[in-house]
Amino acid sequence: MVLCHLGIFLVGITWAFGGGAEWLRPELAWWGSLGALLTLTALQDCESLRDGWLRSAWWLLPWLAFNAFVVAGCLNPSFRDVKFGAETLLVNDGGRAGFPSSARPLIGLNALWLFDAIWISCFNLVLVVRQRRAVRGLLLVGGANALALAVFGTVQKLAGAKGIFFGAQASPQPYFFASFVYHNHWGSFAVLMMAACLGLVWHFARRHDTRGFFHSPAFGGLIAVFFLALSVPLSTSRSCTVLTAGLLGLAWCHWLARLARKRRRFRESIILPLCGGLATVAVAAAGIWYVARDTIAMRFAKTEQQIQEIRARGDIGSRAELYRNTWTMAQAKPWFGWGMGSYPHVFTLYNTRQSIDKLPVFYRDAHSDWLQAFAEQGFVGTTLLGLCGLLPLLSLRRRHLASILPCYLLGGCGLILIYAWVEFPFGNLAVVLTWWLCFFCAVQYCRLHDREAPAAKAPSLSPSTEAGTSPI
């Protein structure tokens, strides 16, 4: 039930505009909330408790503390509505000083509901899943869904569609791809799924299959990686194109190192397979350039123009001003922040930027998830939120990372965390769900290594071995 629930959640949220449609968010939150029922059911399993499967339940403590922190802030509103003629104005009265507060309590509770629905659904993986095969199955579903989205988005882009779903739904901005409203959100999702697919490729490629590599899931994984890599520059996301190149470059170096070690062990030359690998990369790069060359050339020219403008000004322009203003907002309430989901409403008090026509500029996001989290949650809330992921990560040891799949999953999550310093990938619900899904898949895969490894190494006795003969 946990696997089906998460699989449907992932497929549904990615095709539902990446969770970017406000009118779909209550339905997504209700579906994700079913995960809480599965959590309560798992915690009542006495056999699992006796066998030690529920030791990870204490990881719920920072999540519960974070919920208590946000709810306490919503009980202390720092803004109030004031009627001024026919309009309603927001007035900052500060709330009770020294306590957590929220500028917009209702918005904060809705944001918390969505986060809880996603987090608890993914956390169920460490409570319930008992086999690494099940984890790989869930990732295969995610990879197949990502491949379908990449192919759909590529065809939609090449067809010149003016809106999402071939123009059936108008996009609020021109840089959309597949079902995602914003290209950088699609790029973040693609990077996470590429990391998962690369890990699966390594797993299946190392298995001995009589059908050969081209009939194994590993070859299908490479096809998925190719289309996902093609979709990122085609979506016009320059920053995620750099992330994609870095991820694929690291995977290439990993393959090269493993190949060199293997060939050296058998005293064989590395030249022939290396030439084959380079030829494959060249063909794939040529294919990507052939399909996306117009988009790449356009964005490259735009990049050159922006670099010239930065050199002329001596700084990075409006982005630097946005970060300074956000930091000023965060410093006003450094311990508890302004409340979850409060950024677009509070930032108007600290925004110093004006457009050419002297009208105020409105920002929904800080274009830095780290800065925005600190501005909304303060030091206390950001620490509790970080502990939701840090505690499971600290439970892993070096021996747990012997499997390559969790290394790639955690590597993809790490890339998105770094990217969140300069963009807002976690402003998209599909990226949030995919990130936590990959993270807990990696954690549980590592934990199951300790459970399954002893069973795999245990010798099995058959009549032939007991008799001292070798079985055929």
Give me the DSSP letters along 2-35. Answer: HHHHHHHHHHHHHHTGGGT-GGGHHHHHHHHHHH
> How far, CA to CA in Å, does 39 sit from each of 121, 126, 313?
8, 10, 54
CB 103 within 8 A of CB 181: no
Return the structure tokens found at 65: 């503390």
**Alpha carbon distance 134, 150 (integer Å):** 24
Q: Which residues contact 123 (CB under 8 A, 6 or more apart)?
A: 35, 39, 59, 60, 63, 436, 440
Query: Would you state the pLDDT for residue 208?
Result: 57
* Cα-based angle 333, 338, 339 (whole degrees, multiple of 5): 140
The predicted model scores a pTM of 0.90
CB 247 within 8 A of CB 230: no
User: Among 411, 421, 317, 302, which Cα is nearest to 366's?
Assistant: 421
CB 370 within 8 A of CB 423: no
**Alpha carbon distance 163, 235 (integer Å):** 13
| Residues of the chain under the 70 pLDDT cut | 208-213, 303, 306-307, 309-317, 355-358, 400, 450-472
Proportion of the chain in helix, strand, coil states, percent, rounded to 5:
70, 5, 25
User: Among 195, 210, 148, 178, which Cα is nearest to 20's?
Assistant: 178
Return the structure tokens found at 427: 């402003």
Give the phi and the psi of residue 271 in degrees, each rounded to 5. Answer: -60, -50
Return the structure tokens found at 446: 């590592």
Buried b (16+ CB within 10 A) or exposed e, 241-251: bebbeebbeeb
Query: Would you state the pLDDT for residue 472?
Result: 31
Return the structure tokens found at 320: 């630097």
Three-class SS string for 432-465?
A: HHHHHHHHHHHHHHHHHHHHHHHHHHCCCCCHHH
Query: Would you state the pLDDT for residue 309?
Result: 64
CB 24 within 8 A of CB 13: no
Amino acid present at 260: A
Q: What is the SS3 assignment for 120?
A: helix
Amino acid present at 287: G
Query: Would you state the pLDDT for residue 171?
Result: 86
Contacts 24+ apart (CB under 8 A), 327-333: 327/371, 329/375, 330/371, 330/374, 330/375, 330/378, 333/101, 333/378
Sort residue 21 into left (φ over 0), alpha (ψ -120 to 50) or beta: beta
- Tracing tokens 């399993």 back to the chain, one arrives at 45
Q: What is the SS3 assignment for 421?
A: coil
Q: What is the SS3 assignment for 169?
A: strand
